[in-house]
Amino acid sequence: MTNGEEPISIPLVWIGAEDTSIVLANSFVIQHEQDEFVLIVGQYTPPILLGSPEERLEQAKKVAYVPVKVVSRIGFTRQRLVELVDVLKTHLEKYDRKHTGQKS
């Protein structure tokens, strides 16, 4: 933050993160217009198809669509989206180094 001249540093404290449910996200859509981006996060469950491969194929042909439940819509400026991409990339690289021995 700035007061017009000198930057003012005030710490951010995350409150309530432990009380917020974790929801599986397995579908994403992003829309953008000018300098605004909207990330839509969704969750879907594939239909249960049982039987032989032929029976499962016939069951799948009868499924008109698989619904996606929207669990969140998040708006970003371009700069905040760049920050999110950087944070995600950094944590993915840390995960890969820890779990696969890869170096980035």
Cα(53)–Cα(59) distance, rounded to whole angstroms?
10
Query: pLDDT by residue (tens digit) across 62-83?
Result: 999 999 999 999 999 999 999 9
- Average pLDDT for residues 4-27, to the nearest whole number? 91
pTM of the model: 0.73
Query: pLDDT by residue (tens digit) across 21-54?
Result: 899 999 999 999 998 999 999 999 999 999 999 9
Confidence of residue 104 (pLDDT cuts 50, 70, 90): low
If phi over 0 gives left and psi between -120 and 50 gives alpha, with beta otherwise, what is residue 67?
beta
Q: What count of other Cβ atoms lies within 10 Å of the Cβ of residue 40?
A: 15
User: Which element (helix H / strand E) includes 2?
Assistant: none
